Structure 1
Amino acid sequence: MASTWTPLTGPAAGPRRRDGAPRPPPVQRHGPSPRHGAPPSEVERLEALARPTGGQAARAISRSRMQPVKAPTSPLGVPLPTCPESIRTPWAYPASRRGGRALLACALLLTARPACAARSVPEPLTDWLAGIGDAAQALAGGQADASAAAARRAFSARPRGAAGARAQAALGLALADAGQPADAAEALEVALAPAIAPARPHLAFVRGQALLASGEPHAAARLLEQAGADPRLAVARRARFLAGEALVEAGLAAEAVATLDAALRAWPADPAAPAARLALGRAARAAGDEARAVETWRALWLEADLPQARSAGELLAAWRAAGGPVPLASADDHLARAERLVATARPDDALQELAAAREADPEVPAGRVEVLRAAALVGLGRHAEAARVAAPFADDPDPRVQRSARLALARAAARAGRVDEASRRYREVAASEAPIAGLPEWRQRDLGDEAAYLAAWLHYDAGDYRRAATELDAFARAYRRTSRRVDEALWFAAWSRYRLGRTADAARALARLSRGPFADAAAYWQGRLAKDPRRRARLLRAAAAGADPWYALLARARLEASGVASPPPPPPAAPPRPLPDAAPAAAAGQLAVAAELMGLGLEDEGLDELRQLARGGAVRAAAPLVAQLAAHAGDAELPFRMARDFLGQSARTLRWSHPEPYPELLPARARAFGVDPALVLAVMRRESSFRRAVRSGAGAEGLLQLRPVTAERLAALLGVPGGVGDRLDRPEVNVALGAHYLGLLGARFADPAVVLAAYNAGPGPASEWARSRAGMPLDAWVECIPYRETRQYVKVVLSDWDVYRRLSGGAPAPVDPERPVAAPAPGVGF
């Protein structure tokens, strides 16, 4: 077992970005199917990659220029690659390294240049092409020294004009990546002499970084201001923020304040903004505006969930200790920090802040402190203790304190099975609109509707189906014009009748859901409850509906079990609106920037520009090209989003919407822990949408959304030293731990549906559901999952698992709706 875990031990290996973060492993867009065996090893892939590079690649590029084949053109007029058949056949994408994709992008750019017209190519140009391609490939692979050597060969072959500037650009980027800022700045100065559009802003940014690292902050600031001139580009934000920091280093404090202030107003939510706020405080202090400096750092310190908040607090404390005009933190300050920590799922830290609030002012109103304490205890799962803390404040004169206390009491009563008390408390919460302490804003907006619904639904959860049907019908009538949960209430009213054995009444209740979000569920269950011959017709209709893949999957399984062939898949759905024939000029420019950067080996930066384009209104027309460029750069998340949000279903978009990232990592890790790699991919698709650094409101992190405390316990079981909870943004850590967890759950729960319920809600609740409903058919068991989120999670992930298995040429997912769910075995409990 330990041999499968080597990436978690010892120093971090592999290439890193210039900002110090580890480069993600290469992503294969469409991984090898089980029919083709295991993915190639790292050595095999490197050997395969070496064959088409260097002079051979350059000569291949040159030969392709002499062929009388017209390159296909996108709606933007950007030539698309014609050589690899895999580009036109999405399921045959090669398993290449990032560098191979960089060479492909470089070839695309070079073949598109007018200077390289179809003619006999002299050897210096061939050598230059080979050097530029090798430099980009090595840089994308994190091999800075090899990239620099290749760039020097390219410069020797063609040292003058645009070709020489391009070679110097490659050399400067390689030297910057190698940690040689002075030499990088010199090379990039030559590269920037002619305008190498559209990569010029990025080259200016890298040179500005190099100048700043070389002790030339004044020159760095001026160059960074130029790099940030075009606000449409992603690099503009980083350049403007870094320009402000360079001005601070240059001693131009007043100018730094103005620059940073403008950047923060323009991009307040940018990931670089917290660090820029630290720099703004330093600049304001240096400019003599001590009050502005204190307020800037204090505001950052109050945002306690940000990593930079600690630095701001330390700066304030040191300044105060030195006699500066920094007041002590008040009880209100500590309460504000505690509320933010509760809202961002950091309850332990919130409890520390509440203790500090009491220490700062023993007379602080008890209600304000205690309802936050109750919310933190709820976050820790200590519901009974939370109820004891909240109970004295259920009738507090402060509406905010009162409603917060009643919500804690409702949750505690529901957890303890005191349904009537919980229902009453939820109705009280629904009747008020006062803000709830420690509840995120998006939850505040929906709380009244949710509380009113829960007041009725809790009777279903408790098994009082007769009363549940009555209460849920009453909720649907009372809130039919204002609630988003009316259809859900009608569904559980129908399901309550089914649980009572009143199948005819249930079928009539399901008929009320023939339109809307539960239409496919109603169609399946009407078929499930119908007698022959209507049963077959309704199951065929449910299988063909296709809007909800879960019910189509169940219907197909039941039809096949009865010897009836499933209907063919529905025709591809059309996009919401026809895609325009041409994209706006702004999109064409940003696509050109991204392609140019990838040709230079700056794949991370190219992807940043594509993500920036994806945030704007021009992306709809450019979505196919955004997806294809991102896919060839090894990204999974952008093609997934483009296919999901903008593109109609086709063979290619189905692949984009079900990518197979980390082929050299994920299948091996999954199989090592006895898990189907397709199931891990399906979980990843639902958990993170393939975003490596995403963090949920519950504190789960990374591709498979593990909480740090869970990650540490999993690592301990493997004998791995602590600290992995701080590295969950690294795919090799997150994927391995997530696969390990799925393997442990699979050893305890016999059915994948229960495994997924445990992954989402925890093994404790899932174990209780499996034990109390052992023997129930799988389809009914899933419908009986009490948690809305978990119920939907299980349906979606099992459906995606089936899609992944079918795409790889394997058998359908083993989902049998008639199979009885087994009671759980002993096993993992966290």
Structure 2
Amino acid sequence: MLKRILAALLTLTPASIAAADVPTRPLGGASELRVERLLCDPFEANKSTAIEGSPLGAVLEALKAGDGKRALQILATIEPHYPAIRDVFALYRGKAAILTGHLPLALESFRTAATSSTPDIVVEARTLGLRVLVELDPKAAHGESAQLLADYPELPETIQIFHRLAERLSAEGEGVLAGEIYRKIDLVAPWTVEAVDSLRRMEELRAQGVKIKPLDEVERVDRVSRLVRLGSPHKGKQAIEELLRDLPSSPDQKRRAYLLASRVARSEGDYRAMARYDALARNEPPPPARGKDDLESLERELASLRRGVPLARLSGPALREYAAFAGRHGMHERVAAALEIALRRTLPHSIVFDIAMIASGSGQDEKLVQLLRPLAARSDTLGRGARYHLARAHERLGEIEEARAHFFAIASEAPEDYYALWSRQRLEQTHDRVVERAELASRELLMPPARVSKKDPLPYPPFAELTLRSDEESAPKITHEELADRLRGVASLHGDLFPSLVRAEALLRLGDVDMAQLEIYETYIEYRAAIGRSIRRAGLISVAEGVNRTYERPVPAVLRARRQIDPLSREIIAEVAAAIGDYGTAIGLSARYHADDRPYAYAREVEAAAKAHGVDPDLLFAVMRVESVYQRRVVSHAGAIGLMQIMPRTGRLIAQGRGLDGFTTADLLDPATNIDFAAWYLARLLERFEGHLPLAIASYNGGPHNMSAWIDQHAETMPLDAILERIPFTETHRYVRRVLGHYEHYRAKRGAPMPALGLELPNNEPRADVVRF
């Protein structure tokens, strides 16, 4: 809808703007949409109106169809009766006015909407208002844009707005000012299509005699840095190659250039080139090239790791580093020597476990059994990990009965544990190698335990079971007016404390479920702030500002009253939130909802994305559970957005890879877009790592280039379950475990076991046809 409106804005001419006729009269006539039944007391339900035929639903349909005239007529009919949401009406009126060509009305409407109490509406209204002003008065827009960008430095539409502003200024004869803007676009956003066009426009302006300052050395390196960090891998590599052909003269800028080249080489898996550029950045000679089978050089490097200290006297970390180097280069005899030392010495248990993982797959399983058996006696996570890998060593030695005994014990004693998941995998994949008795017994442990609900029964109907989004004909239905009725009592009680509740009730009554969801979320944010657990970043406002949200602290009496809102009211708000699809808010507001219930949040969007990209929908639900706990508007400290927590750069590269024009990072707040992008990305990661699910999950969090590097740092014979133990990023290490656990539970809810998780590592040679971001 928004793209249609913006496209209409760009097609307007001064003549069409001046001739625009704006219909602001109310609807009338038998053929028009019947909304008069809603013009009674706003709290009165109209149960005959389905959501598709609701007033604001009709407005949105008209805007989507490009019928601004009809949208304005409907708005004029209903607006006087709902003063609490005049800003929402103004926002829609501005969009409709653009479609009719009446830009002065659009500008006036957006300025009214910008006075909203809802931050996301303010951002959208101010942004659209600036776009309109660019068309009406580009000089005034140039001045106003500075304030907008000061308030919203990460505004997603910045580059598009500035590019259009430069076009309008150039058309008005302001070539110097337009040239400055084009130059800035090329400098700060060189990966965009607007930057490519800006280069062409600058050449045209120079040909007309306009002086545009070329980039200096610092700016050149800054530009390449942005391409490497924020642009596509291909453009980043191309820019680095150009920079290396014409290196800056300044030592500092030359060092920056080499470090950027090192970063590009690392992302491509070219670690020799990375080491060479790192050495150049330190102003040192590049390391000598070493053949893959140059054992003499490897022995020298191993000796240098010891620093003249006998192997038996190395510290625990040094012994671990020695074993890791030997394992990475297939020097199994040296790994065996490190294992012997670890067996004879008393080392920290974490060091012993790491050395055992390094030695996995090196043919030293008898020593591994000896090394891991004492650790397996521990009752904590490290002990369970040691016991699992002890069982794996027995399995590799062909001692299947002993291995299965350990797997049974782990799966029975801690069924929710990560190692229980892997133990169930091994029980399933080894059952045909042992007697029938063990096979039958194993079947009882092949599914994770179901969560036992501890919730009290509701004192009112469970509206979460009556969803507006249900596609099943047999599912009970509930109208938006009935939900508004349910919210009415809470709004009348607490509307002074939480004005968003009054707005949500009005929006639900008029059928604007998405905007009602936003207002209920604002209520949730205010409640969290009152209890001292503020949500630091959420919504379009956080995407635009790029910093933590600021909250106006209410007077102590209001703050205390918000904090003390009664549990029943919170449960009613939570039920309404769940009924319109916002399980994240429901979980946050009421103890009756729990994230480990693992709801099928945004099921329609998930099923569509899964089908389009060939991904298991349960995997998408599991990732959503870990990434956002089903909150569609959450923004991380690092800037990841939405349900599946997609980074802005990743979103841009996915859009580029799929040929999607007009994408901005604000689109990631839309559940359908966010989930669709995540499904596409997970499908590419699964393809890159040859279907190995744990590696794809690790790459989703830590980056595919990092996952490839971690594989390369170990022996080719190391099994996958041992590689996962060696992930150095704590967050990614935990992330894989959490997603796999939730994935298994989602599968179990459908009565399906986990897919088999392979243990052999994929081909990790760099390829041009795989995703690199």
Give the counterpart letter for 1:677 in structure 2.
Answer: P
Matches within 5 A, 1:85-484: 133-134=48-49, 136-139=51-54, 142=57, 179-181=69-71, 183-188=73-78, 191=81, 202=88, 231=117, 233=118, 238=121, 270-278=123-131, 292=143, 306-320=156-170, 322-324=172-174, 326-327=176-177, 329=179, 334=183, 337=185, 340-341=188-189, 346=191, 364-370=215-221, 372-373=223-224, 376=227, 379-381=232-234, 386=240, 389=243, 396-398=250-252, 402-403=255-256, 405-409=258-262, 412=265, 415-418=269-272, 421=275, 463=329
Give the counterpart letter for 1:310 in structure 2.
Answer: Q
- Structure 2 distance, partners of 1:602, 1:734, is 22
Aligned in 2, Cα 1:361/1:792: closer, same or farther, shift over 3 Å? farther
Number of aligned residues: 574
TM-score by structure 2 length? 0.53
Q: What's the CA shift for 1:590?
A: 2.7
With 685-694 and 672-681 compared, the bigger mean Cα shift is at 685-694
Give the counterpart letter for 1:742 in structure 2.
Answer: A
1:742 aligns with 2:683: yes
Q: What's the CA shift for 1:308?
A: 4.4
Give the counterpart letter for 2:224 in structure 1.
Answer: R
Aligned in 2, Cα 1:723/1:647: closer, same or farther, shift over 3 Å? same
Matches within 5 A, 1:673-752: 675-682=615-622, 691=632, 696-697=646-647, 699-701=649-651, 707-712=654-659, 731=672, 735=676, 738=679, 742=683, 749=690, 751-752=692-693
Q: Is the 8 A contact 1:543 1:555 kept in 2?
A: no
Q: Is the 8 A contact 2:425 2:756 kept in 1?
A: yes
2:358 maps to: 496
Aligned in 2, Cα 1:392/1:662: closer, same or farther, shift over 3 Å? same
2:508 maps to: 598
- Structure 1 distance, partners of 2:369, 2:256, is 42
Q: What's the CA shift for 1:370?
A: 3.7
Q: What's the CA shift for 1:604?
A: 1.5
Give the counterpart letter for 2:169 in structure 1.
Answer: W
Q: What's the CA shift for 1:586?
A: 5.9
Aligned in 2, Cα 1:392/1:682: closer, same or farther, shift over 3 Å? same
Give the counterpart letter for 2:742 in structure 1.
Answer: D
Q: Is the 8 A contact 2:372 2:390 kept in 1?
A: yes
Give the counterpart letter for 2:270 in structure 1.
Answer: A
1:608 aligns with 2:518: yes
1:553 maps to: 421
2:579 maps to: 632
1:804 maps to: 746
Aligned in 2, Cα 1:506/1:314: closer, same or farther, shift over 3 Å? farther
Q: Is the 8 A contact 1:182 1:210 kept in 2?
A: yes
Give the counterpart letter for 1:631 in structure 2.
Answer: A
- Structure 1 distance, partners of 2:524, 2:143, is 36
Q: Is the 8 A contact 1:139 1:601 kept in 2?
A: yes
1:661 aligns with 2:661: no
- Structure 1 distance, partners of 2:245, 2:354, is 31
Q: Is the 8 A contact 1:280 1:296 kept in 2?
A: no
Give the counterpart letter for 2:649 in structure 1.
Answer: G
Q: What's the CA shift for 1:707?
A: 0.7
Give the counterpart letter for 1:707 in structure 2.
Answer: I
Give the counterpart letter for 1:639 in structure 2.
Answer: Y
Q: What's the CA shift for 1:318?
A: 3.7
- Structure 2 distance, partners of 1:386, 1:749, is 30
- Structure 1 distance, partners of 2:383, 2:56, is 49
Q: Is the 8 A contact 2:221 2:257 kept in 1?
A: no
Q: Percent identity?
A: 19
Query: CA deviation digits over 1:499-536, x for unaligned, max 9?
Result: 664637974998999989x8975675577569999996
- Structure 2 distance, partners of 1:799, 1:285, is 55
- Structure 2 distance, partners of 1:203, 1:352, is 36
Q: What's the CA shift for 1:322?
A: 3.6
Q: What's the CA shift for 1:217?
A: 9.1
- Structure 2 distance, partners of 1:827, 1:750, is 18
Give the counterpart letter for 1:408 in structure 2.
Answer: A
Query: CA deviation digits over 1:195-221, x for unaligned, max 9?
Result: 7xx556655766787789889999999
- Structure 2 distance, partners of 1:757, 1:529, is 24
- Structure 1 distance, partners of 2:107, 2:351, is 60
Q: What's the CA shift for 1:807?
A: 1.8
- Structure 1 distance, partners of 2:327, 2:497, is 51
Query: CA deviation digits over 1:98-139, x for unaligned, max 9?
Result: xxxxxxxx9xx99x96x8xxxxxxxxxxxxx5x554154522
- Structure 2 distance, partners of 1:740, 1:697, is 12
Aligned in 2, Cα 1:293/1:132: closer, same or farther, shift over 3 Å? same
Q: What's the CA shift for 1:369?
A: 1.1
Query: CA deviation digits over 1:315-363, x for unaligned, max 9?
Result: 34543554449546459x84x6456437xxx378778879999997787
What is the SS of the residue equivalent to 1:811?
Answer: coil
Aligned in 2, Cα 1:392/1:362: closer, same or farther, shift over 3 Å? same
Q: Is the 8 A contact 2:138 2:169 kept in 1?
A: no
Structure 1, unpaired ranges of 5+: 1-15, 22-105, 116-128, 149-172, 242-269, 430-454, 471-485, 576-581, 713-721
With 389-398 and 776-785 compared, the bigger mean Cα shift is at 389-398
Aligned in 2, Cα 1:377/1:274: closer, same or farther, shift over 3 Å? same
Give the counterpart letter for 2:189 in structure 1.
Answer: L
- Structure 2 distance, partners of 1:391, 1:319, is 36
Aligned in 2, Cα 1:319/1:677: closer, same or farther, shift over 3 Å? closer
Aligned in 2, Cα 1:347/1:465: closer, same or farther, shift over 3 Å? farther
Give the counterpart letter for 2:265 in structure 1.
Answer: A
Q: What's the CA shift for 1:609?
A: 0.6
- Structure 2 distance, partners of 1:183, 1:363, is 52
- Structure 1 distance, partners of 2:240, 2:327, is 22
Match of 2:721 among 766, 779, 796: 779
Q: What's the CA shift for 1:630?
A: 2.5
- Structure 1 distance, partners of 2:336, 2:223, is 35
- Structure 1 distance, partners of 2:583, 2:217, is 51
Query: CA deviation digits over 1:172-210, x for unaligned, max 9?
Result: x99998842553354236525xx7xx5566557667877
- Structure 1 distance, partners of 2:67, 2:201, is 45
Q: Is the 8 A contact 1:542 1:552 kept in 2?
A: yes
What is the SS of the residue equivalent to 2:526?
Answer: coil
Aligned in 2, Cα 1:315/1:462: closer, same or farther, shift over 3 Å? same
Q: Is the 8 A contact 2:106 2:129 kept in 1?
A: no
Q: What's the CA shift for 1:615?
A: 3.2
Q: What's the CA shift for 1:608?
A: 1.6
Aligned in 2, Cα 1:557/1:135: closer, same or farther, shift over 3 Å? closer
